[in-house]
Amino acid sequence: MFDFSLMGQRLGGPSGISELMDDLGHALAQGGPDVKMLGGGQPAHIEPIDARWRERFREMLENRDEFDRAVGNYDPPRGNPGFIDALAGLLRREFGWDIGSDHIAVTAGGQTAFFFLFHLLAGEMPDGRLKKILLPLVPEYIGYANQSVRNEMFRAHPPRIEWIGDHEFKYRVDFDTLEVADDIAAICVSRPTNPTGNVLTDEEIEKLAVIASQHGIPLIIDNAYGAPFPNIIFTDTKPIWHEHLILTLSLSKLGLPGTRTGIIVAHPKITAAIANMSAVVGLSNPNVGQAMVRPMLESGEILSLSNDVVRPYYLNKSRFAQHCVKDAFGDRFPYRIHRSEGALFLWLWFPDLPIKSKELYERLKKRGVLIISGHYFFFGLEGRDSWSHQHECLRMTFTMPEQVVADGIRIIAEEVEMAWRSSGNV
């Protein structure tokens, strides 16, 4: 009955991320207690962290002025000035970055930060050229894939695959073949990477930053899981920032996804534009997360919570899941785990898997195990449809209780073995 615009069709039509979230949400709602939910990106409820948020909320309620301002006021579109000053202070104090409040803008979650950044930098330019975002390594975060309001926005570069031992591997940026063409507006990576748990090394980041500045374009580093908070990074890395870098942060994986708080740290020209976009799209941003966290930025507690509670919690979860995989998979079929260097996921690769990962997902779903088929995370690859690796991987979240993770992995092993047996190749 009603016609939709091209933009309406792109954003309002079905997309990988909306189908996936819907599928997972319904399966969870209807699946009952037996569903093994290894699919979503939901952070764990870590009791000491949840307790700290409850305590902060009580403090805010008791200090009436703080609560009334948080829920009863519109903040400026750039974000709450007290929060921004506190964050700039922390970044100067702890890392020596030359950052003032004009280098920071708040958004309604990290997802919105990316929508704004991609459209600020890429798309149709004043001279009519179309610019794209370069992903120097895929698989990459599926949440970027459908954000473009017009044409395809991403050009992705396949990685170099490094085999480690019998059952591990790691993706590396393939600098030998990486090309930054004239139509590239920015380079973007998530670090740690969703879905793989890869953490690009300091050298890789430094090299990308040099390439970006040589081309006069920014390097966007998505720190949704990264430094300085929530710092779900298991390798030794150094947080960096300078004016050619755009860092995004989020309070979500610190246990506050419901507050929808994203942060951009960038050149003032970028943050001013983001603040203007926030005003147009949403007037101002959600205040509550900023109010809860502000004193913890001032005291530095946000870093100790990240380093002493959040990171070790997920490191243990990752180790447990890897142990279960080794135990359950044994030598039953070929598999490799991406080296787990951060974030909330294990990325499993089944070389030469006789069925596509989407089919494996369907079979697992029938058995009550929800994972995400890896093919969703390979987007922006021009002319690489025949790359079978895209259909041989899956992402599983390891944040659930141990029994759920162990049972889920046991069932994954059974289904993969079954696929091999029915292909007659085992």
Which residue ranges make up the site for ligand PLP (CB under 6 A)? Answer: 41, 109-111, 141, 143, 190, 194, 222, 224, 250, 252, 257, 262
Shortest distance (Å) from residue 222 CB to ligand PLP: 5
Name the 3-class secondary structure at 153: coil
Length of the chain, please? 426
CB of 196 to ligand PLP, least distance (A): 11
Of 329 and 377, the one with the shorter C-beta distance to ligand PLP is 377
Sheet strands (E) in 359-410: 369-370, 372-373, 393-397
CB of 110 to ligand PLP, least distance (A): 3
Q: Shortest Cβ distance from residue 226 to ligand PLP (Å)?
A: 9
Residue nearest ligand PLP by beta-carbon distance: 110
| Residue of 382, 401, 406 whose CA lies nearest to 152 | 382
Instruction: Write out 305-354 in H/E/C secondary structure.
Output: HHHHHHHHHHHHHHHHHHHHHHHHHCCCCCCEEECCCECCEEEEECCCCC
Q: Which is nearer to ligand PLP, 145 or 416 (CB)?
A: 145
Contact between 233 and 30 (Cβ < 8 Å): no
Burial 356-379 (b: 16+ CB within 10 A, else e): bbeebbebbbeebbbbbbbbbbbb
Query: CB-wise, 286 or 329, nearer to ligand PLP?
Result: 286
Q: How far is the CB of 345 from ligand PLP (least distance, A)?
A: 9
Considering the complex, what minimum distance in angstroms separates the CB of residue 304 from ligand PLP? 22
CA distances 399 to 225, 317, 319, Å, are 14, 7, 11
And the tokens for 12?
A: 């309002």
Secondary element (H or E) of residue 179: none
| CB nearer ligand PLP, residue 122 or residue 344 | 344
In the complex with ligand PLP, which residue's Cβ is closer, 41 or 408?
41
* 198 vs 390, beta carbon nearer ligand PLP: 198
